[in-house]
Amino acid sequence: MVAPDDCPSQAEYITYFEPAIAVMQTEAALERIALELCLDSAAENVDYLEVRWAPRLHLRRGLSVDQVIRAVLSGLSASPIQAVAIVCAMRQHEPEENVELARISGGFSGRGVVGFDLAGDEVRYPAAPHRRAFEAARAAGLRLTCHAGEAGDPAHVEEALDLGVERIAHGVLGAGNPRIVERIRAEGVVLDMCPTANWKCKAVPALAEHPLPGLVRAGLRCTISTDSRTVAGTTLTREFQLMSEAGMTDDELRRCNETAYEAKFG
């Protein structure tokens, strides 16, 4: 379930989620794993957690989207820390399916679901066809974010910005384009960076060359996260340590943490 260091692409990296998804097909499993994620995070002194996951990937044994969301929220509610949910639509799913997902998720606005996201293979599946899902989520009171800029063309970042998001998960490939960087800065969009995952997806050639330090010094609002503790084979503590080794100062790392609190959806 842990993607290897020599994983060749984002598309390959994503396949390593499959074994975990396969065992998360019952309400009991979803509730337990949601709680265990919170307990593991609490052990790292995390006191606020946003859990992103894709409900439509957990329907193989007959659960409905509503049941999946309720099970995860039940696990999060038993957590010793504040934990909320961001529902992910998947790029490979039909736009109408994601509109329905947004509407169902919106029914849990104010009851544990705080945001709506889009994830999956950027190269094969563009974000633009899912605009109506984002509009439905916004109308339901959910905050918006999107995975983009980890594979393919830097223009994928702009495609996400065009959806009206407040945050972008990754955005790494856009960091080399001054025009995109300036748009991100001007719109106040936050980049949720995941160094190990970005490296394993080959969005950056080496962790030492990750653009996060430069972006923070250029005044962009950035956070540090794990992407997936399991598939990336990391922890939040390790991600901060890696960026310290890449040259970020304690003040810069602290600023990333402050940005995370300022930009949180819950």
Structure tokens at 144: 């918006």
CA distance 143 to 74: 21
The answer to whether 97 is a known catalytic residue is no
Amino acid at 126: P
Strands ordered across the beta sheet of 82-90: 48-53, 82-90, 113-119, 143-148, 167-170, 190-193, 222-224
* Catalytic position from the list 31, 150, 158, 239: 150
Query: Quick one: angle between helices 95-106 and 65-77, nearest 10?
Result: 40
What is the Cα 77 distance to its own chain's centre?
20
In the chain, the largest separation of any two C-alpha atoms, in whole Å, equals 49
Q: Which amino acid does the sequence have at 234?
A: T
Q: What are phi and psi of 64, to 5 degrees?
A: -95, 165
Q: Which residues are catalytic?
A: 150
